[in-house]
Structure 1
Amino acid sequence: MPTRLLDALPAAFPIWPDAPPGGQPSQLQESASQKPGNILSVRGVSIPTLTPFLPEHPNGSSIIVIPGGAYSQLVFDKEGSEIALWLNQYGITAFVLKHRLPVEGHADDYLVALQDVQRAIRLTRAHSKDLGLDASKIGVLGASSGGHLAATAGTRFSSQCYTPVDQIDSFSARPDFMLLLYGAYTGNMAFNHASGEQLFFPEAVKNRLYAEFIPSAQVSADTPPALLIAAGNDDRVSPENSTALFLALHQAGVPAQLQIFDDGGHGFALRSPDTCTFAAWPAACIDWLRRHELISAN
């Protein structure tokens, strides 16, 4: 597999026992490349995996980290492994999800990413005891399109989007909490406050994905607690996406916190310059995790 750039990471493991559901295109070939801005881009995923990042002193909490990349690539380091290593510092076991991309010709096209994140949550929960994890403290953290996918996991966990393949699929796909960074939660063309990137996608499958999965319109009282992070000057995904989802959570009685920082733009993750107010989001996140007893108060 031509993914030598990934060799320095911990060993990944597949989330499906055989070929995943959704109809794989025969020509799909995984690749990893270094993009401008020192970004590791992964495409062509046919075997979805979780890459574990284990803390020195685990506290039982775990988070599935979902990289962004506009559903056309996975920004695997900046919005994946770097965040996982940061979470490890606080005793959180992290798993970076390498999910299939809806735009790469799968028969189930817009569903495959949700299939993979549901399976990843179920797999983590099924093996939580063996891994020394608390089955009631399994969260998701997503950035950009990963934020949309994480929010979809938290609002559509009861949707049967694939036929069960084994006993693992009898476990709940509901995450216990959500950490959501600068995602598009309000759909696409139907929303007048959408940013330019949301108004039209050249790929029909991406338009369908955002039309079907609108987290702000699909919140229920069972949606897990959430922390939403955005930058006020994000010109790619309007921060009003986060505002709309926060209001929906609040109206449903779901514990939620919204942090919109003055500046930071889109897609900084942990690489924000110290001069940006957005650089304060990791501290806000750790405070939220402590108050929800997901990490130690110390």
Structure 2
Amino acid sequence: MTLDRRSLLGVGALVASTPGLARQTSDAATLAPPDPTETIRLWPRGAPGGEGVSVTAVVPERSIDPAFHDRYAQYTTDPILTVLRPERPSGAAILLIPGGGYRWAVVDKEGLDVARVFAAAGVTCFVLRYRLPADGWAAGPNAPLQDAQRAMRLIRHRAADFGVDPARIAVLGASAGGHLAGLLAARPDATYAAVDVADAASFRPDLNVLLYPVATLADPFAHAGSRQHLLGPSPTPDQIAAWSLDRMDWTGVAPTALIHALDDTSVPPENSLLLLSALRASNVVSEAHLFQEGGHGFGVRLIAGKPAAVWPDLVLAFGRRNGWISP
């Protein structure tokens, strides 16, 4: 994949195949690209179990640079998919699940920014804005998973509308979104009652990419914030085990790639190492990339000039070898 300046315009230093294209900060004359206008509501008649929900959705902006956005969605009550269609679609699709410690879901850094990179490679992208566990939903910690399962089913049910192959739909989750993507991949149980014909479709991804994922909820390697916002301040040992990806049965799960930086001090790389052991024990086709530098939450914009900057190319290569991307 060659990512030229046109593909990355306005996103800042996303990812580049040549050093001259990478830059940490953009000049003031460059404006952030407009948001995609195509969105899909997951639950046209309202998300399930919202009777006790009283929060009001907000999407604050943290960036002060006009060249890029850095937003996060908090207190989401009407989950959506934002669709980014490539100029030359390959038939492959990807559901992007950004992180945010289950406190919020970032919009740009691990969502739209990443979508623009994969769309440039011909992949139809769907960025998920999901509900959060502590906002009063009846499903509690299952609320985000309900949204992820519903999103995958909608994409697969409407594959012809998007020009994608229903057997080539991947998921990519980052940080706590990586935990949610792992739940989507590993858990076989539907977490909500069917609401329409779309729910007859499978919610299991055809390829899994977990970017610096929250995998274990057990000390000493747990990300304490994600655990607290998912399970509350005092989860039981049984709850911790039940929601730790490395303790789940991964038998029959689609090929899975793990990406982590060894200098990640927020979600230690042991999360990916523990999960890799679980994948191998279940004979899942798997691949792991552990980079010397990158820290946590790098997405594609924060790693110019660092070893982890090659991760999108590695994902595309893994996808080609395993049937997600056509050779």
- TM-score of the aligned structures, taking structure 1 as reference length: 0.89
| Matched AA of 1:67 | P
Helix, strand or coil at the partner of 2:73: strand
Please tell me whether residue 132 in structure 1 is matched to residue 159 in structure 2. no
In 2, Cα distance between equivalents of 1:20 and 1:225: 30
Measured against aligned partners, the alpha-carbon deviations of 1:187-227 in whole angstroms (never above 9, x if no partner) come to 234xx4x1563696377537657553222111332111111
1:28 aligned residue: 55
Please tell me whether residue 294 in structure 1 is matched to residue 314 in structure 2. no
Measured against aligned partners, the alpha-carbon deviations of 1:59-88 in whole angstroms (never above 9, x if no partner) come to 111100001111111110011001111111
Closer, same or farther in 2 for the Cα pair 1:282/1:131, shift >3 Å? closer
In 2, Cα distance between equivalents of 1:15 and 1:203: 21
In 2, Cα distance between equivalents of 1:265 and 1:143: 13
Q: CA deviation at 1:24?
A: 4.6
2:108 to 77, 92, 97: 77
Q: CA deviation at 1:280?
A: 2.2
Q: CA deviation at 1:94?
A: 0.4
2:296 aligned residue: 266
Percent pairwise identity:
34
Superposition pairs of residues 42-81 of structure 1, within 5 angstroms: 42-81=73-112
Please tell me whether residue 95 in structure 1 is matched to residue 126 in structure 2. yes
**Does structure 2 conserve the Cα–Cα contact (< 8 Å) formed by 1:50 and 1:95?**
yes
Q: CA deviation at 1:292?
A: 2.0
1:219 aligned residue: 249
In 2, Cα distance between equivalents of 1:72 and 1:259: 27
Q: Which has the higher contact order (CA 8 A, sep 6+)?
A: 2
Q: CA deviation at 1:139?
A: 0.9
Q: CA deviation at 1:277?
A: 1.5
**Does structure 1 conserve the Cα–Cα contact (< 8 Å) formed by 2:169 and 2:324?**
no
**Does structure 2 conserve the Cα–Cα contact (< 8 Å) formed by 1:39 and 1:77?**
yes
Measured against aligned partners, the alpha-carbon deviations of 1:236-280 in whole angstroms (never above 9, x if no partner) come to 111111111111111211100000001111001102333422222
Closer, same or farther in 2 for the Cα pair 1:164/1:10, shift >3 Å? same
Q: Note the aligned Cα RMSD (angstroms).
A: 2.3
**Which segments of 5 or more consecutive residues in structure 1 lack a partner in the other structure?**
none
| Matched AA of 1:260 | L
| Matched AA of 2:309 | A
2:185 aligned residue: 154
| Matched AA of 2:302 | S
Helix, strand or coil at the partner of 1:115: helix
| Matched AA of 1:19 | G
In 2, Cα distance between equivalents of 1:43 and 1:222: 34
1:116 aligned residue: 147
1:245 aligned residue: 275
**Which segments of 5 or more consecutive residues in structure 2 lack a partner in the other structure?**
1-31
| Matched AA of 1:251 | A
In 2, Cα distance between equivalents of 1:233 and 1:141: 21
Q: CA deviation at 1:28?
A: 2.0
Aligned length: 289
Closer, same or farther in 2 for the Cα pair 1:36/1:201, shift >3 Å? farther
Measured against aligned partners, the alpha-carbon deviations of 1:69-113 in whole angstroms (never above 9, x if no partner) come to 111111100110011111111111000001101122222221100
| Matched AA of 2:99 | G
| Matched AA of 2:273 | T
Helix, strand or coil at the partner of 1:58: coil
